[in-house]
Amino acid sequence: MLSQLLRSEWMKIKRKGLWFLTVLGPLGVVGLTMVNYGVRKDYLLSLSDDDWAIYLDNILSLTPLALVLGIVILTSMMASIENQTNAWKQWLALPVSRSSVYLSKYVIATTLLFVSSIILGIGTTLYGLTLGLGDDIPWLRIMQVSFYPWLASQALIAFHLWVAVANNNQGITVSIGVVGVILTFMAFFLPDWFLWKWPTLANDWNNPFINIVLGISAGLLLFIAGMWHFCRKDVS
Amino acid sequence: MSIIVQTEQLTKTFQKQQAVDHVDMVIREGEIYGFLGPNGAGKTTTIRMLLGLMKPTSGTVRIFGKELQKHKLDILRQVGSLVENPSYYPHLTAYENLNVVREIVGVPHKRISEVLETVRLTEAAHRKVKGFSLGMKQRLGIAAALLHQPKLLVLDEPTNGLDPSGIIEIRELIKSLPQQYGMTVLISSHLLSEIDQIATAVGVVSRGKLIYQDQMSNLRKLARSTIRIQCSEPGKAVAALKQLELAAAHEQEQLILENCSNRSVADAVSLLVHQGHDIYRVEENKQSLEQIFLSMTDGVSL
């Protein structure tokens, strides 16, 4: 059932620009870092002996913003594909369980963002190499910078999917998303329990793993809550 | 004939307003069941409950003899539906739209071409649905509903917004389904003429209540015929017709005979002429289905 649903969902997102956004996000992060290094490379290289560390910190400062923005836009666009002509009523009158439908939407959103993370990892490595940051490439740290924010964002994906699917008016969804992006921008000042802080991997214990555990466990709870709501909702 | 759809005391309440009020609907195999009622009478809400899109406040829905709440997926595998305005993905082509549904209902690719042919959309198969006319979108919706050859087809106002030729086309298509594929069809409409031409059974809903349900032929029998005879001295004529044991009434210089056969009319006219009455006019007045419905729905027009 889920595999059939996923095949259908992949077909539905055709020509809607979701793949374009998936690629644009990580390229945007690497592109902005290029601008940063293009303008003040000497200064940035003078900050520390470990040039890779400074470079990856720069990448990591931009990733959460791109990721949160990506989550908002992707989930909202996925819901709008159904909302546009109220296709929910056709889709949910097919022999499919609502929980599988909800799960398939989540899988699509998180897979697209995973692909973004892969592209980010590749882009980060390639540009890092062209900058000549040293031969000792910190592969593990690159992987962490590329994929940890995605893992820590599972709660946000679940939250925004719920909001997008529950509201026919995507204006509400995007407004909440914009507030979220601003909150992520100010993450440094936010308490550790705040959802929007988790993709930055920052916390009082200086242990990014905590954000991942929080992101995945809260993500699971929010996913179950959203699915519970979706399964009981009357389709108008 | 076995019962395909049966609701018992089906009720849906929205914030204290009863949209559907204790409806007992019965649809038998092979019927085209016309679900008729004014806008806002509760047709769409009932249909949504039949498809599991809305949960009833109380009452039950049984389809193919199984309870919908407990066997929803099993039942929906054999149900095709088009609810209100057609739903489609405008950025996809007609073929792609059907392919999205095909994956779920698990039928071979060739079914897509077949249903496109059935609704005459083969030529537009690879065009984006965004540019389709309303009639084409409606036909695409029907194609999607037919894709898995369902036993029960539920069509909610399928001719809404179509031009006359589109209406005729869809009507002919729906009429052919029970014979060709053994389908049972539930079709809702607020247009009496529509249901009159297509349905074999009818359910009339008004203000959430199912106020009439029977075979269409029985409903037509309700349409009473009256003969009005305009003649000189209708008062005397009424007395004269008592010889024929015909119950005649006298109203505004006219004689009124109800439900009489051709023979009785001929006898009455012949008798009056023999007795020297001048006959000016003999007219038949049939109460239209429209009038019957108006009286059923307390004047809310259909």
**Rounded CA separation B188/A79 (Å):** 29
Provide the pLDDT confidence category of residue B301 given band limits of 50, 70 and 90: low
When pLDDT is averaged across residues B95-112 and rounded to a whole number, the result is 95
Chain B partners within 8 Å of A8 (Cβ): 100-101, 103-104
**Residue partners of B290: CB distance under 8 A and separation at least 6:** B192, B302
What percent of chain A has a predicted confidence (pLDDT) above 70? 100
Res B295 pLDDT > 80: no
Q: B52, A93: Cβ pair inside 8 Å?
A: yes
Asked if residue B296 is part of any domain, the answer here is no
Chain B partners within 8 Å of A92 (Cβ): 52-53
In this structure, are B132 and B18 located in the same domain? yes
Q: For chain B, what is the mean pLDDT?
A: 89
Asked if residue B300 is part of any domain, the answer here is no
Print the domain residue range for A80: 2-232
Provide the pLDDT confidence category of residue B250 given band limits of 50, 70 and 90: confident
**Rounded CA separation B262/B248 (Å):** 15
What residue of A is the nearest CA neighbor of B100? A8
How far apart are the CA of B54 and the nearest CA of chain A, in angstroms? Answer: 5
Res B102 pLDDT > 70: yes
**Rounded CA separation A12/B57 (Å):** 34
Provide the pLDDT confidence category of residue A103 given band limits of 50, 70 and 90: very high
Asked if residue B30 is part of any domain, the answer here is yes
In this structure, are B33 and B181 located in the same domain? yes
Q: Compare CB distances from A93 to B81, B85, B106 and report the shortest one's residue.
A: B81
Chain A partners within 8 Å of B55 (Cβ): 232, 234
Asked if residue B291 is part of any domain, the answer here is no
Provide the pLDDT confidence category of residue A119 given band limits of 50, 70 and 90: very high
**Most confident region among A15-24, B35-44, B268-277 by mean pLDDT:** A15-24
Burial (CB < 10 A; 0-12, 13-18, 19+), residue B167, is buried
B39 near A CB under 8 A: no
B242 near A CB under 8 A: no
Provide the pLDDT confidence category of residue B300 given band limits of 50, 70 and 90: low
pLDDT tens-digit map of B161-218: 788 888 888 898 898 888 888 899 999 998 888 898 899 999 999 999 999 999 988 8
Chain B partners within 8 Å of A84 (Cβ): 89-90
pLDDT tens-digit map of A140-186: 999 999 999 999 999 999 999 999 999 888 889 999 999 999 999 89
**Rounded CA separation A201/A213 (Å):** 11
What residue of A is the nearest CA neighbor of B50? A93
Tell which of B182, B205, B221 closes a domain: B221
Listed in order, strand segments (DSSP E) in chain B are: 3-14, 17-23, 26-28, 32-36, 58-63, 66-67, 79-82, 152-156, 184-189, 201-206, 209-215, 225-231, 248-251, 254-258, 279-286
Residue A231 and residue A99 in contact, taking contact as beta carbons nearer than 8 Å: yes
**Most confident region among A146-155, B231-240, B247-256, B280-289 by mean pLDDT:** A146-155
Res A37 pLDDT > 90: yes
Asked if residue B294 is part of any domain, the answer here is no
The C-alpha angle A42, A48, A52, rounded to 5 degrees, equals 85
Q: Compare CB distances from B90 to A4, A84, A97 and report the shortest one's residue.
A: A84
Q: A14, B101: Cβ pair inside 8 Å?
A: no
A-B contacts (CB, under 8 Å): 83
B residues 105-124 lying closer than 8 A (beta carbon) to A: 105-106
Beta bridge partners, A27, equal: none
In this structure, are B36 and B176 located in the same domain? yes
Q: Which of B66, B75, B102, B103 should one mutate to test binding to chain A, selecting the residue with the greatest count of A CBs within 10 A?
A: B103
Asked if residue B298 is part of any domain, the answer here is no
Which CATH number fits the domain that encloses residue B237?
A: 3.30.70
Res B299 pLDDT > 70: no
pLDDT tens-digit map of B193-204: 889 889 999 999
In this structure, are B194 and B68 located in the same domain? yes
How far apart are the CA of A10 and the nearest CA of chain B, in angstroms? Answer: 9
pLDDT tens-digit map of A191-231: 999 999 999 999 888 899 999 999 999 999 999 999 999 99
Provide the pLDDT confidence category of residue A232 given band limits of 50, 70 and 90: very high
What residue of A is the nearest CA neighbor of B84? A89
How far apart are the CA of A25 and the nearest CA of chain B, in angstroms? Answer: 23
pLDDT top residue among A135 and A178: A178
Q: Compare CB distances from A8 to B84, B90, B100 and report the shortest one's residue.
A: B100
Q: B51, A95: Cβ pair inside 8 Å?
A: no
Q: Can you give the pLDDT at residue B16?
A: 83
Tell me the helix, strand and coil percentages in chain B, rounded to 5: 40, 30, 30
In this structure, are B258 and B116 located in the same domain? no
Q: A93, B53: Cβ pair inside 8 Å?
A: yes
Chain A partners within 8 Å of B103 (Cβ): 4-5, 7-8, 11
Q: Can you give the pLDDT at residue B297?
A: 73
Q: What value of ipTM does the predicted structure carry?
A: 0.91
Chain A partners within 8 Å of B77 (Cβ): 95
Q: Compare CB distances from B88 to A14, A15, A87 and report the shortest one's residue.
A: A87
Res B109 pLDDT > 80: yes
Q: A11, B54: Cβ pair inside 8 Å?
A: no
Res B87 pLDDT > 60: yes
Print the domain residue range for B36: 3-221
Q: B87, A91: Cβ pair inside 8 Å?
A: yes
Looking at the structure of chain B, the number of domains it has is: 2
Asked if residue B143 is part of any domain, the answer here is yes
**Residue partners of B283: CB distance under 8 A and separation at least 6:** B227, B228, B229, B230
Q: A11, B84: Cβ pair inside 8 Å?
A: no
Gap between the terminal Cα atoms of chain A: 25
C-alpha dist (Å) from residue B130 to B73, B74, B87, B89, B124: 31, 33, 12, 8, 12
In this structure, are B206 and B278 located in the same domain? no
In this structure, are B138 and B217 located in the same domain? yes
What residue of B is the nearest CA neighbor of A86? B87
Q: B48, A235: Cβ pair inside 8 Å?
A: yes
Q: A235, B53: Cβ pair inside 8 Å?
A: yes
Closest C-alpha to B293, from B38, B18, B27: B38
B150 near A CB under 8 A: no
Asked if residue B208 is part of any domain, the answer here is yes
